[in-house]
Amino acid sequence: AQSVTQPDIHITVSEGASLELRCNYSYGATPYLFWYVQSPGQGLQLLLKYFSGDTLVQGIKGFEAEFKRSQSSFNLRKPSVHWSDAAEYFCAVAKPGAGSYQLTFGKGTKLSVIP
Amino acid sequence: DADVTQTPRNRITKTGKRIMLECSQTKGHDRMYWYRQDPGLGLRLIYYSFDVKDINKGEISDGYSVSRQAQAKFSLSLESAIPNQTALYFCATSDLRDGSYEQYFGPGTRLTVT
């Protein structure tokens, strides 16, 4: 079964600093990859997704992620963090062609932003 | 109006009580899901449904049941609530027709079992 690891439980950055959130997956082939954000008291919103093609994916709110097959990673980045980015971020994978369309989520990384 | 709605948004109940959480969607999606979120554990799948006649257990279905009353409605029931079912519950939908695995989430229901 596929699994997702987000090694960092909590990250604190200063506003304006760059950000990288790590995500590693375990799966025999290339899965479909997603990053979701959960703002306090809200549901999850999709930031970006990777199915195939260009390994650098652009998303909403200025986020991007890079798929690295050799490292089984799909790290999320943002060049300059805004205070409104404080939230919890979840990486998720789906197994292509499984028919179930199930997502497996990582345990999340909470981002705090210092003004 | 929100595409995926959940009712109630907050609920406090006592151990042993039966409780139902409801989810409705206006997106026209065929697939619906129920997850629970616990701090430090991420989201775990409870049940999912591909259409009205298709219900499947997820990773943590014990103690829960579901009903897909219509394409747009998917309810989660706790027949006899227990304190370790205290969690944040999310409903989600996805659309088979567009070939996307993207799931769209409701705002969540915070359930407390005392």
Whether residues B101 and A94 touch (CB distance < 8 A) is answered with yes
Whether residues A43 and B108 touch (CB distance < 8 A) is answered with yes
Q: How far apart are CA B22 and CA B67, in angstroms?
A: 10
Best mutation target among A30, A103, A110 (most B Cβ atoms within 10 Å) is: A103
Of B42, B48, B96, the CB nearest to A102: B48
Contacts 24+ apart (CB under 8 A), A63-69: A63/A35, A65/A33, A65/A35, A67/A30, A67/A33, A69/A30
Q: What is the 3-state secondary structure (H, E, C) of A25-84?
A: EECCCCCEEEEEEECCCCCEEEEEEECCCCCEEECHHHCEEEEEHHHCEEEEEECCCCHH
Of A103, A107, A108, the CB nearest to B103: A103
Whether residues A44 and B105 touch (CB distance < 8 A) is answered with yes
Task: Give me the total of CB pairs closer than 8 Å, taking one residue from chain A and one from chain B.
Answer: 47
What are the pLDDT digits (tens) for A49-104? 998 889 999 999 999 999 999 999 999 999 999 999 999 999 999 876 655 567 88
- pLDDT at position A98 is 56
Q: Looking at chain B, how many residues does it have?
A: 114
Check CB contact of A94 with chain B, cutoff 8 Å: yes
What are the pLDDT digits (tens) for B43-92? 999 999 988 999 999 989 999 999 999 999 999 999 999 999 999 999 99
- Give the residue, A42 or B72, on which the prediction is more confident: B72
Q: What percent of chain A has pLDDT over 70?
A: 94
Token reading at A46: 């999709």
Check CB contact of B75 with chain A, cutoff 8 Å: no
B108 contacts in A (CB within 8 Å)? 42-43
Residues B25-48 have a mean pLDDT of 93
What are the pLDDT digits (tens) for B11-27? 999 999 999 999 999 99
